[in-house]
Structure 1
């Protein structure tokens, strides 16, 4: 049986005007997950725009710029609950210049739903979004072949798109891909099974999301505790308290565990684990706690407390699969701030090993310029060691972002290989 409190996070992706916002609006509308005042406001807005019925896309296109343009330009988050499961939806933009927002929305997702316009089939943005989903190791992909009403609900059109996408996904690390033909505008195979496509024997989208098995993406083996701050309260009874506060990135830490502080290498034992005014026997990801050690060790923000028998590899030279997110191209050997857990260091892109051609998914080692939306394997050098794990083993300690010091903009997101 499903745990009623189990949370599923899914993201929508696809090219512009493929119907992502309409699909989410249909999900919310048909599952009766919309408050009456919201519905009334959307109905009024739809009438002002001259629509005969409710414009379902308005449930997610909440920003004024989006409504004026009729597109989604930011990640819009929506929450809803059914009797079987809770959901968080990240509706991401379709335009190629907003692919960086898709990376943001997909970074914590359990499922990626990729929309394809049945009239156009698999296009470049489809391949890009599928590739990003595979890089982020999202375990499940639902390919929604939308606007089937505009191709007369043709089974042949659907099968051709399935074959085309399967050819693309065979070159990626994708574990589970499911295909659903639908019309988000009319509601076919979104919440209710379509009467127009009797040839489709699978479940509609909501039932698929409700019954899909979701395993935790948290690494439960490698204990990693990045220190965010040192707590030294100056109150009676707490004068000698020296706690290290942070969020457990992965694994479990227990009182009495022998631990090593990285990168210094000093060892000690966990004396206590505190959560507010409670003392705990253990802490596990993703709990935010304060830890005290039996020995007085010089520890500061950016250090990492780990179990002594299971330490990460401190490294200043890191290989990363990088998604370049900024409008401006990467500057040759320019310095950026690299953010890894609670650790901020200066870093430099030493080398672009190769870039991916999104259309063919082939590696190109001749082109070493990084422009917006490029995906490449790069070598990064940091000023001080980072305590890293491979992204495939630990999503928290295996991910980084790069920030431009001049503009304070996040210019890239990366997965450590």
Structure 2
């Protein structure tokens, strides 16, 4: 007979697909680690700002707890750890305007920050073991491919799309080698109407790669050239303005899946799915589940898929055999009419017609045309 103590020591686990190297939809609790470098002499100011922030975060849905730690070797180095019920509520908060306002008091006393996010896979110790009995932990670790995926998105003034597209396509690629451990692998840039999406693939340290790119003269020149056309003003020479812009522009990858097929001839496409208010994460989850379910289907032309999501913005970046000529049903992953109907309930009315007409009667080819983003440039590094 199984005793209560034996049951407590066995956490609730779930298998993860070997095809999925990254996902925020595991249901596992999340540990967030924030490394903070405080200006000399600003420690008390930082502590007061943290306590104010901590009181506000305590009421955010999905938040569990926080810890604040100060280095025993360097008083300017601090560590903030927080636990969340799962990744989605944390991402919903950290990508919100509410978060931008909450952390504002910290900026005047912080020299640098680095944020790391981890799913909790195992817990040890008496109290931890008892707690993990009621939590959903992974039975096995995810096996990645060594590539970190991230995207940025912003909008330009209506009417300036062609000018911006030309600026963004006519520049010299930055040096791929960042340092001994970090390389730029690929940059894919798309537009949908006046929205720009730049997807980046990196081996090594993503933050180091982003800083490296931002310092390249050719990239700086392009960023300055598009400034007059942006819907929201920014000044990249002002650290605070740059920080706010890149915080709002961040479009995190929430799911990545690959098939078991080699596709050297695959074409890269991007599809834009504007969600109804409050439905962005649900829409991203639906697309992720469809891609995961079809990863082993030999009929699918999709070799790999990355879902990016922030608020109501959902972008699905796919590598497709046959490119735009591939079967739209299989490309969209909506072979089941019920899935198309569910997708319609989550999409903004303008994306499918107020009555969902773009998905009625299986008219997925029309929806594929509406959702498809224009490719501006897709650059691979020879060193990748």
> Shorter-normalised TM-score: what interval?
under 0.3
Which one has more relative contact order, counting CA pairs under 8 Å at least 6 apart? 2
TM-score by length of 1: 0.26
Q: Highest CA radius of gyration, 1 or 2? A: 1
